[in-house]
């Protein structure tokens, strides 16, 4: 049975977020925080991620994603709650 205390959010990150190590840094931060899911570049220049964890873990990850690594310039973060039965075992680039 899925853990009701686990949230899943689909996040789209806008700005200068490709070619600046954003995905690699996101994976490192996710591992530090214990969140699971995935991150990928989209053809339109944004980065998309599925972030899964406790509400506190997800909040901490979103806080980091609003800044990103030093070379990034995040202009906007769109989030959409997902209702998934699937639980990811780790966070990785796809």
Residue 58 sits in a domain of what CATH number? 3.30.70.100
Q: Give yes or no: 23 in active site.
A: yes
Residue 42 lies in a domain: yes
The residue range of the domain holding 52 is: 16-85
In DSSP terms, 49 is beta-bridged to 11, 39
pLDDT in tens, 12-26: 999 999 999 999 999
Query: What's the whole-number mean pLDDT along residues 67-93?
Result: 96
Give the pLDDT of residue 4. 66
Whether 81 has a pLDDT exceeding 70, the answer reads: yes
Q: At what angle do helices 55-67 and 22-33 cross, to 10 degrees?
A: 150
Residue 25 lies in a domain: yes
Residue 39 lies in a domain: yes
Give the pLDDT of residue 10. 98
Cα dihedral across residues 12, 18, 39, 52: positive or negative: negative
Candidates 28, 41, 81, 87; catalytic one: 41
pLDDT in tens, 1-51: 456 689 999 999 999 999 999 999 999 999 999 999 999 999 999 999 999
Asked if residues 52 and 79 have their Cβ atoms less than 8 Å apart, the reply is: no
Q: How many domains does the chain have?
A: 1
Residue 43 lies in a domain: yes
Q: Give yes or no: 41 in active site.
A: yes
pLDDT in tens, 63-76: 999 999 999 999 99
Q: How far apart are CA 90 and CA 19, in angstroms?
A: 23
């Amino acid at each position: 049975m899925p853990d009701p205390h686990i949230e899943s959010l689909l996040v789209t990150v806008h700005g200068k977020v490709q070619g600046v190590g954003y995905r690699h840094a996101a994976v490192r931060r996710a591992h530090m925080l214990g969140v699971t899911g995935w991150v990928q570049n989209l053809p339109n220049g944004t980065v998309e991620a599925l972030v899964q964890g406790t509400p506190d873990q997800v909040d901490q990850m979103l806080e980091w994603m609003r800044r990103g690594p030093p070379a990034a310039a995040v202009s906007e973060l769109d989030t959409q709650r997902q209702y998934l039965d699937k639980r990811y075992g780790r966070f990785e680039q796809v």
